[in-house]
Homo-oligomer: A and B are copies of this chain.
Amino acid sequence: MAKLSVVGKSVIRTDALEKVTGTAKYTSDVDLHLPNLLYGKILRSPYAHARILGIDISQAAKLPGVEIILTGKDVPSQRFGQYVADQHILTRETVRFIGDAVAAVAANTPETADEALQLIKVEYQKLPAVFDAEEALSPDCPAVLHPDLASYERSLLAYLGRDLPGPNVHTHHRFRRGNVDHGFQKADLTVENRFSTPRVAHCQLEPYNSFAYLESDGSLTIWSSVHELFGATQGMICKLFALPPSKVRLRTHYIGGNFGARPQAEKFAAFLAIKTGKPVRVTYSREECFIDGLNRFSTSIYIKDGVNSDGTLLARQIKVICNGGAYASLTPLLARNASFALSLYRIPNLKWDAYGVYTNEPCSGPFRGFAIPEVLWAIEQQMDIIAHKLEIDPVDFRKRNIVREGEENVRGEITHSIGAQECLDKAAEWIEWGKPSPASSGHLKAGKGVASGIKYSMTDAASSAIVKVHCDGTVEVRHGADEVGQGANTILAQIAAEEFSVPTHKVKLVWGDTARTSYDFGSVSSRTTYSTGNAVLLACQDVKRQMFKIAATKLGASPQDLETRDGKIYLKQSPETAIMVADLCLPGAGCLAEGAELLGRATFVKPGSGEDPDTGQGKILTSFYSYGAQAAEVTVDTETGQVRVLRFGSSFDMGQPINTKLCEGQMEGGAGMGIGTALHEELIIDKGQVLNPNFTDYRLPSTGDIPSGDNMGCMIAAVPQRDGPFGAKGLGEATLVATAPAIANAVYNAVGVRIKDLPITPEKVLNALREGRNEL
């Protein structure tokens, strides 16, 4: 590969100045001064499961300033739901969780809307409710959330098994390799455990909010505060309201964090705007963000491993039960994709079953890592447990079984760009693995732990890009990916700048507007650098071809003899023979003699092979895998049970890094989020009622909880990805997948107790210490 001049450099973020000076705009800053602005608010169910017997809006409707009150009878009969169409905008006859949307009000002030909510009288008849996923799994569960949905409706994905064990099960995904029973029979040791993970909230700082209005031509514009403008958001709105995509424009400016949060306020804002013909803002309260925020589901994971005494993994059987709450949402896909956590190790015999289950808890959704952290919470402790039982060093044990370049992995994919072992080595070296921690003192016991990580990126999701070259040489990149703070714009600008040999400030970005950019599946699955990056690169190459073709005629040269740099097109062999981009245009006009503009276009999509519905095997199920390892040094206070992370090291393989500083930023951020979910974060739900829906009671890690400076290590183990832009692949989600098990392994190393139920609270540690639980 030619020497890189922009890619691989830590150029300053394109949004740095705006964000530092506070001028960066978010959806809540969009103030178009539209007349008759209304504020929308949602009435939510106080019951976990109940029938609505009647709704009396008469008092509320009389309140001055109230514009409209909508209930289930007003909503389109079309239900939404990406895999199971099981949800109405406002529930029609039944509420299924505490927080389910019952009515929507639009009024001239937020206060009036709130007051109107108080005046709406709803008569409910309570129904039996179920909160525990394992109870809900049973065919005999007395509470059935969606009795009207036949099992085939609950299983729309071809790769989801159809043998649903009970009426509340909407998903059963399985995959098989070899024969797990034979594997266990041959094993010298089998180890069986149950792990669990709780509900966790994204806690993106920008609350869900949306601003919708009808344009004068009757089309609908919706400002959104989340990612996935195209498919997930525009697509949902079009489907719900039977509108063609050309009539629905989705927009964002910047997005104040995302971490998997999906469109929520958009459908309400759009619905109220359509019904009133007036502009409507809907902003979730922080409490609503926690309760109706589609946060990370809770899981129970049963795992059984068989291993030879030499440390060779022979068999693994794993069952994952996902409590997705009252509606299926993305749980079917999460349950399936969680299985890619198993691609980390070479295991000849495997049995995987994942269930997505309805309960009367709030509806959940994707969360950074897309269920991989939950499964690795089990696997990476299990690996430690086995290593200890076999008296093999846990790092060595991992390396013995870890997948290697060119091997067929457990799903039948031929592996490529595997930095797994290098990452593990770097993390172990950084934490001074094998050297006891010097931090123990008195009742503070120190320990170290390591865990490996893996994150896949999906296939069959398209990114497209348009690149316009202005006559002053500015390269305008129009992309449909989302700038959620991760630095997508900077990465894409660097890719274009590299390809055009210009500095990044000569790249202009257009994003966040379905009317101005072309389709992108969205900034999910850590796919932006790879997929959108590839689309941008291809679009750059497309427009360069057009430029060189015109320039070749003018220079009397052949297109393949040309190159461009700093807005000049020149002969490779004699760079002084050159013309400027402006010279390609009609004299005096800002356009080409033919074809209007210098406009490059491209779509990138990595097609998958599909998986065998019985075995889950397939040649290409992922676009790529990112590998990594994380290492923690902790102290455990044996008097209080408090765990503190003293040092934390992350080592990841993101292929060729596009921007080293941004990669380090992802690693630090991922570690921080991982530490939060490892030690503090948990949505406490009592019979469907979220008890801590605020930042006081929901404990995010603070800067004091996260190591910094030399105590936070970020290492890059770059193994270029063949089909990535300049060899790059994704990173973002991977950076927290191994954090919690690394810490759990360190806790075990420190005090010999093993916590299998996230988070690792002082109470659990203290209880385990008191019980003298010292489990290998």
Contacts and interface: CB of A to CB of B under 8 A. Distances in A.
A82 to B, nearest CB: 11
Contacts of A473: 244
A595 B591 contact: no
Interface stretch (A43-51, A394-402, A464-472, A662-670): A464-472
A627 interface: no
Nearest to A466: B596
Interface SS of chain A: helix, strand, loop or mixed? loop
A704 to B, nearest CB: 34
A515 B521 CA distance: 24
A31 B462 CA distance: 37
A231 B472 contact: no
Contacts of A247: 474
A245 interface: yes
B216 A591 contact: no
Contacts of A150: none
B539 A596 contact: yes
A589 interface: yes
A605 B590 contact: no
B586 A462 contact: yes
Given A32-B31, A244-B474, A246-B472, A595 B590 contact: no
A472 B245 contact: yes
Contacts of A542: 595
A493 to B, nearest CB: 11
Contact of A603 (B33, B539, B595): B595
Nearest to A506: B246
A224 to B, nearest CB: 16
Nearest to A475: B246
A333 to B, nearest CB: 13
Contact of A586 (B217, B515, B539, B605): B605
A508 interface: yes
A653 to B, nearest CB: 29
A601 interface: yes
Interface in A264-299: none
Nearest to A597: B518
Contact of A596 (B23, B515, B602): B602
A18 interface: yes
A321 B461 CA distance: 68
A599 to B, nearest CB: 6
Interface string A731-759: 00000000000000000000000000000
A465 to B, nearest CB: 6
A593 interface: yes
A593 to B, nearest CB: 6
A603 B593 contact: yes
A91 B466 CA distance: 44
A467 to B, nearest CB: 10
A230 interface: yes
Number of chain copies forming the complex: 2
A586 B463 CA distance: 11
Contact of A591 (B18, B32, B234, B519): B519
Contacts of A474: 244, 246-247
Interface residues of A, number: 54
A24 interface: yes
A594 interface: yes
Interface string A223-259: 0000000110010000000001111000000000000
B508 A589 contact: no
A510 B521 CA distance: 25
Nearest to A599: B601
Contacts of A31: 32-33
A499 interface: no
Contact of A597 (B17, B466, B589): B466
Nearest to A589: B462
A596 B518 contact: yes
A597 B601 contact: yes
Contacts of A18: 216-217
A516 interface: yes
Nearest to A35: B31
B594 A602 contact: yes
A476 interface: yes
Nearest to A25: B216
Interface string A485-512: 0000000000000000000000010100
Contacts of A64: none
A466 B591 CA distance: 12
A472 B590 contact: no
A542 B586 CA distance: 20
Interface in A530-551: 535, 539, 542
A596 B599 CA distance: 11
Interface in A18-56: 18, 23-25, 31-33
A588 interface: yes
A75 interface: no
Interface in A582-616: 586, 588-597, 599, 601-603, 605
Interface in A49-96: none
**Which of A247, A470, A519 has most chain B Cβ within 10 Å?**
A519
Given A245-B470, A466-B597, 17 more contacts: A17-B216, A18-B216, A18-B217, A23-B216, A25-B216, A217-B508, A245-B472, A246-B470, A246-B476, A461-B589, A464-B596, A518-B591, A589-B605, A591-B603, A594-B602, A595-B603, A596-B601
8 contacts: A31-B33, A244-B474, A245-B472, A246-B472, A246-B474, A519-B589, A539-B596, A589-B605
Interface of A: 17-18, 23-25, 31-33, 216-217, 230-231, 234, 244-247, 461-462, 464-466, 470-474, 476, 508, 510, 515-516, 518-519, 521, 535, 539, 542, 586, 588-597, 599, 601-603, 605
Closest 4 CB pairs of A and B: A244-B472, A464-B596, A519-B591, A246-B474
